[in-house]
Structure 1
Amino acid sequence: MKFKNPMLVVTDINKSVEFYKKVFGLHVIMDFGANKTLTGGLALQTSETYKEFIGASDISFGGNNFEVYFEEDDFDKFADRLKEYDIEYVHPIIEHSWGQRVVRFYDPDKHIIEVGENMKIVCKRFLNSGMTPEQVAERMDVPMKFINACMR
């Protein structure tokens, strides 16, 4: 058994492809018409065909019970770039207790998208601020093995 990829059901596949292309730089690598796979492995499926697949007449969107997660090395640059788009935010940028900055927003079909600061970058940010490796491990609640790997 091998996990292949997540698939989001969308109401307008072209609008969704454009969204993921503009906001994340993803591109279609496999195009089956009603199903498209984007770089990174994210697949999109039209709601009409998905209804047929599952034998249902209705699909609900915006349940706030699932998210697609991305990490970004240059989080500040990405956050600034988001201002160029008409984005509906779940919440503004927050910093979690372990120090990672994240933002959550909706795609065109109200799927939650989370973009978090790359955890190695968080580690380096703390180390560059003068914290000892042990302090960073405690602050981030990660093992020293992770901190040591970030310092290489």
Structure 2
Amino acid sequence: MKFLNPLIVVTNMEKAKKFYYEVLGLEVIVDFGANVTLTGGVALQTKDTWSAFIHKQDSEIIFGGNAAELYFEEDDFDGFIKKINDIEDINYVHTIIEHSWGQRVVRFYDPDKHIIEVGENIIMVVRRFLNSDLSIEETAIRMDVPVDYVKSCLI
């Protein structure tokens, strides 16, 4: 057995495809109308077909549960933040925060209230610390990771 991809339910397929393309750069690989697969392995399914698949009423499909997220990493985190700052309809869970290990992240909702997290690529975090004159050992301490992990990010 192997895991293939996450599937999220959407109320408006065209709006969802536009959001995932314009905000995250995901392109449609396969489009069956009610089911669409995007680059990165994200699948979208219309609410009406999903409710039929699981034998539930549309009213039983609840959005905005804040119990899961789709996680992305971005090499050019600052560029991504600039990009989404120019998009009017971003509904933030929170703006940029920096986790204790130094990774910067932002979380926002898609049009159906699924949480999207975009984090700074962890290799870029290592490089940012090293470029700020921290040594490999100091970077490992700052990030609370082994020195070998920091070294592996430099390969």
Determine if the TM-score, normalized by the shorter chain, exceeds 0.5: yes
Q: Which residue does the alignment assign to 2:17?
A: 17
Give the alignment's Cα RMSD to 1 decimal: 0.8
Q: Which residue does the alignment assign to 1:122?
A: 125
Does structure 1 residue 92 correspond to structure 2 residue 126?
A: no
**SS of alignment partner, residue 107 of structure 2:** strand
Structure 1 residues 63-142: aligned runs within 5 Å: 63-85=65-87, 86-142=89-145
Amino acid at match of 1:14: E
Comparing 116-125 and 24-33, the one that deviates more: 24-33
Structure 1 stretches of 5 or more lacking a match?
none
TM-score normalised to the size of structure 1?
A: 0.97
Comparing 142-151 and 95-104, the one that deviates more: 142-151
Does structure 1 residue 151 correspond to structure 2 residue 154?
A: yes
Give the Å deviation of 1:24. Answer: 1.1
Amino acid at match of 1:71: E
Does structure 1 residue 39 correspond to structure 2 residue 39?
A: yes
Structure 2 stretches of 5 or more lacking a match?
none
Give the Å deviation of 1:145. Answer: 2.1
- Structure 1 runs, 4 residues or longer, greater than 4 Å off: none
Q: Which residue does the alignment assign to 1:29?
A: 29
Distance 2:37 2:144 in 1: 35
Aligned length in residues: 152
Give the Å deviation of 1:144. Answer: 1.8
**SS of alignment partner, residue 98 of structure 1:** coil
Distance 1:50 1:80 in 2: 35
Deviations 1:91-144 (A, max 9, x none): 110000000000000000000000000000000000111111111111112222
